[in-house]
Structure 1
């Protein structure tokens, strides 16, 4: 792969990562509720999920997923169910926090996400959101067809998958760091009830719309 081709790949991966969606909502929610560490953990695990699809595409496995409509639909519906569960949990959490009508107390500090339970949950959320989204496989299938040759070696495949992983994880990690470094999380926590409700409603809407389009 030439350097010019890699720059094109880098730009396309970056544009894909910058596209708003459920992944961004989950990273923001975990950063606000659990701290910077949890946000970064979510970002890194999401990048690993995306990298897995990038690697599968490079090896030709994504073609199988795309060709098997039943498998594609099953993964999509599983992802919708997970989004629905996250959204419903967020909306319930928002109602519970604001049920007494008093302001929501400030959340944990930037490093609160280092707690084991929070870290495990954050890693689960990030990876699952990516893994249960077969549209990522289709994205890389269309993208990598421009870069992967029939005789691609291990190094070229590693560069393709590694670029996708680093770009995705790096972008969402910057989101988590930016939110905590600028003090935005303090404002978000003051309005935690409504943030939870809005985030939850958005996730539920995405889940239902994805399921409806699949069915």
Structure 2
């Protein structure tokens, strides 16, 4: 792969990562409620999930998902169910805080550095990527422009590595930006409402995706 081709790949991967969607909502939610560390871990685990699809695509495995409609629908519905679960939990936590019962929200903030919270953040990031087969289709369309018939280990590693680093890096920057010194007080004051809005967005995305699939 030439350097010019790699720059084109880099730009497209960056634009794909910056597109708003459920992944961004999950990163924002975990950052607001669990802190910067959890947000960054969500970003890194999401990048690993995306990297898995990128590697599978570059090896030709994603074609199976793209051509097997039943499998595609099953993964899509599983992803919708997970989004619905995340959204419902977010709305419930936000409602408790807004209604004058912030104990649950405060407890989550207090536990933000515990291994369990960080593991949950890693699970959220990876799962939201892994249960989104549209990522496989995106890379199938993208990599078809860059993968050659005699692609070797270096070329495959470059494709998958670029997608992984760009995705994880972008969402990590989002998490760090949200927890910047000037942003933190505002987030603390409005965290419950952000939680409710993010939860509602996730529920809407889950229901709309399930409806279009069914």
The two structures have a TM-score, normalised by structure 1, of 0.94
**Matched residues in 1 for 2:107 and 2:132: separation?**
33
Comparing 176-185 with 80-89, greater Cα deviation is found at 176-185
Alpha carbons 1:106, 1:186 under 8 Å: kept: no
Q: How many residues align?
A: 213
Alpha-carbon offset, residue 195 of structure 1: 1.2
**Aligned residue in 1 for 2:157:** 158
Question: Deviations along 1:103-146, whole A, 9 cap, x unmatched?
Answer: x869848xx74320111000000000000000000000000000
**Matched residues in 2 for 1:101 and 1:8: separation?**
50
User: In the TM superposition, what are the counterparts of 1:96-175 in structure 2 within 5 Å?
Assistant: 96-100=96-100, 108=109, 113-175=112-174
Alpha-carbon offset, residue 96 of structure 1: 1.4
Stretches of structure 2 that go unaligned for 5 or more consecutive residues are: none
Alpha carbons 1:40, 1:176 under 8 Å: kept: yes
**Matched residues in 2 for 1:153 and 1:177: separation?**
36
The two structures have a TM-score, normalised by structure 2, of 0.94
Question: Deviations along 1:68-125, whole A, 9 cap, x unmatched?
Answer: 00000000000000000000000111111222378x869848xx74320111000000
**Matched residues in 1 for 2:106 and 2:190: separation?**
10
Instruction: Tell me how large the CA RMSD over aligned residues is.
Output: 1.9
**Matched residues in 1 for 2:99 and 2:167: separation?**
37
**Matched residues in 2 for 1:78 and 1:183: separation?**
38
**Aligned residue in 2 for 1:79:** 79
Alpha-carbon offset, residue 154 of structure 1: 0.6
1:23 aligns with 2:23: yes
